Structure 1
Amino acid sequence: MAWSYIVLLSALLGVSWCAEDWTFPPGFKFGAASASYQVEGGWNASDKGESIWDRFTHTRPQNIADGSNGDVACDSYNLWQTDIDNMKALGLHFYRFSISSFWPRLLPSGFPNYTSEDGKRYYNDLIDGLLKEGIEPMVTLYHWDLPQTLQDLGGWTNPLIADWFADYARVAYSLFGDRVKLWLTINEPLIMCDYPFNSGLLAPGIFSPDHGTYLCNRHVLLAHAKAYRLYDEEFRDQCNGEVSIANHLLWYEAWTEDDEEIAELARQNMGGRYSHAIYSEEGGWPSSIEKVMEENSKKKGYCKSLLPAFTSDEIELIKGTYDYYALNYYTSRLVRPAKEGEELTVYPIGDIPDLKAKTGTRPEWTATNSSFIYVAPEGIRKQLVWLKKTYGDMKVAITENGAPDLGGLNDQGRIDYYREHLKQVLLAIKEDGINVTHYTAWTLMDNFEWAEGYSSKFGLYEVNFTDPLRTRTPRDSAAYYANIIKNNGLKADS
């Protein structure tokens, strides 16, 4: 019997769950996550092709806080068994990792004309090693490291990329689908489309806020849909897996009672632009965002909207291409209309220029060493409730959640972050009847954190990046998380 049904039945019968019972539903799964470029290293090992992050960090080290790169990173390309041993010590039920480096690592040209034997061997060893220890692989096909060969052809602004991605997905499903049952097509299209093209500060380093952002948005949804349909048609019967896309959502909260309308518009601009086409009954873009973009485009002098329209066939292709909703949540923002002449920062890290909206934080939201992440645990529950209200009942996997610090083994701040967010997840399950099935800590170990390099630490395990052996040491949060997994819940007094 589904847990959400039990909650609903209990409510109808007047039975309430005990507020001190901070246990998760039977079968709830806890995991941890990483991403290929951030941990693997081996950037030029064997016949691996160059990715856009290889090119970006080598040619623009000034764009990285400490001038570093992912050439070696955690050296998980060689130390994958050590990583598995650490996962076993935590008691993880699953490990989310990406084989998007497998795109250039397995298909060095970016196309399926040639497959690397060493690339296949690496991911087979990792998957088989996980399964041997009873740890389920959750595999992301694309976590931002596009083959440079495809970027040279326009990357995510080229409409042909949807077919290129489907070709790549077929190779992945064929090689690993017999053992991998949880798939994510693309990680955080918001961050790979909106922030790079609005700022030029992340790979591929192209500034194109009017066109690049929205072309990327459109093509990501089509690529995801084609990869999903391919799985449905050719692999689901024999492999019996599940496929989704991982969306990064901030919870946008009205600054004052009068700001609810723009807060909802902000939610549609972030969540809706990357979810509505997939999860809504009607498909396509959110109507409120279509209207705003049409008005903005006219004001900028364009003859048609910068938000590229979907054809009726494309709407049907994309609609319903999910088996669960994959949510990455880190933080929240207040939102209000900008005042006349008020300067707006870059979306999505800061304000929302397309909506003429200003964002901010509450005083009680604790700052972290990342200017982006403030600790706002209530936001994860509000976001889950919004998803249910907007798109209906569905299975939800939290595929990233975590907080950074500056390092050290005593990371009480991270423990507090996990505890308070997990409490909110439990409230969403038990009081709101939301079917959350997975929780994923970001991240298993310190890694290359994109523009922040190695200056920001998210890991349950500390990694010594000055040691050629890349020694991993468990933090206090590792013991805390292991205890949560062991007990399938939080202590009543925590």
Structure 2
Amino acid sequence: MYSLLFYYAVLLSYGYAQSNLAGGGKSNYTFPKEFLFGVSTAAIQIEGAWNEDGKTENIWDHLVRTNPNFTKDGSTPDVAADSYHLYKRDAEMVHELGVDIYRFSISWPRILPNGLANKINPSGIQYYKNLINELEKYNITPMVTIYHWDLPQKLQDIGGWTNAHIVDYYTDYANVLFENFADKVKYWVTFNEPMQTCLEGYGNTYRAPALNRHGIAEYLCTHNLLKAHASVYHLFAQQYRPLYGGKIGMSLDSNWAEPKTNSSKDREAVERYLQTHLGWYAHPVYSEEGNYPPELIKLVDEKSRQQNYTRSRLPKFTEDEIAYIKGTADFFGLNHYTTYLLSMADGEVGDIPSHANDVGIVRVQDPNWPSMSSSSWLKVVPFGFRRLLKWITKTYKNVPIIVTENGYADYSGVNDKARVSYYCHYLNSLLHAIHEDHSNVQGYFAWSLMDNWEWDDGYVSRFGLYLVDFDSPNKTRTPKDSARLYSKVISTRALPEKYDPEDFTAFSSASTLFPTTLLLPLYRLLI
């Protein structure tokens, strides 16, 4: 009792008011008939066959060989779930779930072994044609992610995404995909989570190529990547959409942000975080003005002057480039998992220079937020999902949103009650966003179809609806309880009758579970 009262006292000292952790009561709403339900995967995480049939090394193949301790378990994606050989079973699983659409990525070095379009690998083309044909057999719509973090190492050797010529190389690669697959693929994603590529791969060491050239490389990478996105969008719109139809967009990752306290500075930190992280990539494409967010420009310009640089470390777009990039998406792809508490930093934060130092905010998570995830950052905060969707809808003028990733990580097992609970809570929040906030959400993809190689977590963290036995020669796939739950939601277009938005016991024992009615800043209740 004393710990519970203390918990409330601490939160009340921050000026918080009561609000439901679930983001709303149990919804009796249903998903619209035309709403798209899907599942997502990524080539490097499931395919394996890392050097078979003409495929060459990508930046992750290279990283795990030059730094064997990069992953928690010392593993590699060499075999992964062996989907290169088991794609028929994968398509069958998608069919078993009853989803409308399957999002998968294409491996650049499997298609273009040199990274360039002068040499096309016919075995790579045939593999993806086989997969698409298998999906077609089950009447499943394919959504193709053109780039999901697996740059050919041969291109990284000449600078990768910091080399301005990458815009042309990427456009040529995308053109090969359009030429071969646009007749059957009606949804395209240019980039998956570009912030992870640039900020964590070039500015830090958390993603390949782990360049760690913070303060410079993340901005160069982003600048070239946005130009590449726009180039491919215009290529598709001008040459392929008139022939085949289809839509093309980008998938951006974002957490939701709440102020750590009700102070004006912490409230300011929330908006700064959203504008300088999600907005870094969204504002040039989805805003009416185009260009980088004004606050990001101001912050980096000022820090660059203070640090005695002769020009801003944030490159400038020309007026023609701003116009060329603006509006280059048919939908807003969103990957979302969790929520953070934000505060304005009192002094310098992060490396100098770095994006973190430029932005000057500190993020933490409430240790009382529920989770038993294998990923320590994956706290279960469903209201954050709803609020993020509302923010995107308001900021980018009712843009069509497709949630291209949402899911929960555990260690293993088919009786995954925590994942079942996570999906129920987040889908409930989504229903409230659609019907009460009028967020223009047109689809939802669970991450992921199956357990896979999870980057620096290796095979420790499992996100799959299907369990994969990585020790078996056939990489046996078995549906989890969450697969059955998701399938039921899809078939009924509604949440299970027994779902209780106040029940978070799947993430903790009943005796230690903190109250499900959390205390949140007053000002957030007004948006």
TM-score scaled by length of structure 2 = 0.87
| Correspondence for 2:517 | none
AA paired with 2:361? Answer: A
**Conserved 8 A contact 2:162-2:217:** yes
AA paired with 2:232? Answer: A
AA paired with 1:305? Answer: S
| Structure 2 CA distance for partners of 1:363 and 1:89, relative to 1, 3 Å | same
| Correspondence for 2:255 | 250
| Correspondence for 2:244 | 239
Q: Are positions 1:353 and 2:357 aligned together?
A: yes
| Structure 2 CA distance for partners of 1:113 and 1:475, relative to 1, 3 Å | same
**Conserved 8 A contact 1:22-1:491:** no
| Correspondence for 2:278 | 271
Shift of the alpha carbon at 1:301? Answer: 2.0
Superposition map of 1:322-471 within 5 A:
322-340=329-347, 344=350, 352-367=356-371, 368-471=373-476
Alignment partners' CA distance in 2, 1:454 and 1:345: 30
| Correspondence for 2:124 | 119
**Conserved 8 A contact 1:195-1:347:** no
Q: Unpaired runs of 5+ in structure 2?
A: 1-24, 500-527
| Correspondence for 1:305 | 312
Shift of the alpha carbon at 1:151? Answer: 0.6
Match of 2:173 among 165, 168, 172: 168
Superposition map of 1:184-199 within 5 A:
184-199=189-204
Shift of the alpha carbon at 1:50? Answer: 1.3
Q: Unpaired runs of 5+ in structure 1?
A: 1-17
Match of 2:45 among 38, 49, 60: 38
**Conserved 8 A contact 1:198-1:346:** no
Q: Are positions 1:223 and 2:228 aligned together?
A: yes
* Farther off after superposition, 191-200 or 159-168: 191-200
Give % identity: 43
Determine helix, strand or coil for the equivalent of 1:61: coil
Aligned-pair Cα RMSD in Å: 1.8
**Conserved 8 A contact 1:184-1:245:** yes
**Conserved 8 A contact 1:254-1:335:** yes
Higher relative contact order (CA 8 A, sep 6+): 2
- Shift >4 Å, 4+ stretches: 343-348
Shift of the alpha carbon at 1:175? Answer: 0.3
AA paired with 2:89? Answer: T
| Correspondence for 1:280 | 287
Shift of the alpha carbon at 1:292? Answer: 0.5
Determine helix, strand or coil for the equivalent of 2:229: helix
Shift of the alpha carbon at 1:353? Answer: 3.2
Superposition map of 1:77-92 within 5 A:
77-92=84-99
**Conserved 8 A contact 2:29-2:435:** no
Alignment partners' CA distance in 2, 1:66 and 1:363: 26
- Describe the superposition over 1:2-33 as per-residue Cα deviations: whole angstroms up to 9, x where unpaired: xxxxxxxxxxxxxxxx9652310121111111
Determine helix, strand or coil for the equivalent of 2:424: helix
- Describe the superposition over 1:293-333 as per-residue Cα deviations: whole angstroms up to 9, x where unpaired: 11111222212111110011110110000101100001111
Alignment partners' CA distance in 2, 1:398 and 1:145: 22
**Conserved 8 A contact 2:215-2:352:** no
AA paired with 1:77? Answer: Y
AA paired with 1:420? Answer: H
**Conserved 8 A contact 1:166-1:223:** yes
Q: Are positions 1:54 and 2:53 aligned together?
A: no
AA paired with 2:206? Answer: L
Determine helix, strand or coil for the equivalent of 1:159: coil
- Describe the superposition over 1:20-71 as per-residue Cα deviations: whole angstroms up to 9, x where unpaired: 5231012111111100000000101111121111111111111111111110
| Structure 2 CA distance for partners of 1:63 and 1:85, relative to 1, 3 Å | same
| Structure 2 CA distance for partners of 1:239 and 1:346, relative to 1, 3 Å | farther
| Correspondence for 1:27 | 34
* Farther off after superposition, 414-423 or 192-201: 192-201
Shift of the alpha carbon at 1:412? Answer: 0.6
Alignment partners' CA distance in 1, 2:55 and 2:240: 27
Shift of the alpha carbon at 1:371? Answer: 2.2
| Correspondence for 1:207 | 212
**Conserved 8 A contact 2:200-2:210:** no
TM-score scaled by length of structure 1 = 0.93
**Conserved 8 A contact 2:374-2:460:** no
Matched positions, count: 473
Determine helix, strand or coil for the equivalent of 2:238: helix
Determine helix, strand or coil for the equivalent of 2:452: coil
AA paired with 1:192? Answer: T
- Describe the superposition over 1:83-142 as per-residue Cα deviations: whole angstroms up to 9, x where unpaired: 11111111111110000x1x2111111111111111111000000110110111010000
Determine helix, strand or coil for the equivalent of 1:186: strand
Determine helix, strand or coil for the equivalent of 1:375: coil
Shift of the alpha carbon at 1:74? Answer: 0.3
Determine helix, strand or coil for the equivalent of 2:114: coil
| Structure 2 CA distance for partners of 1:39 and 1:347, relative to 1, 3 Å | farther
Shift of the alpha carbon at 1:346? Answer: 12
Alignment partners' CA distance in 2, 1:108 and 1:20: 50
Q: Are positions 1:486 and 2:465 aligned together?
A: no
| Structure 2 CA distance for partners of 1:322 and 1:456, relative to 1, 3 Å | same
* Farther off after superposition, 368-377 or 240-249: 368-377
Alignment partners' CA distance in 2, 1:54 and 1:169: 22
- Describe the superposition over 1:254-284 as per-residue Cα deviations: whole angstroms up to 9, x where unpaired: 1122211111001001111010000111110
Alignment partners' CA distance in 1, 2:206 and 2:480: 31
| Correspondence for 2:14 | none
Alignment partners' CA distance in 1, 2:173 and 2:240: 14
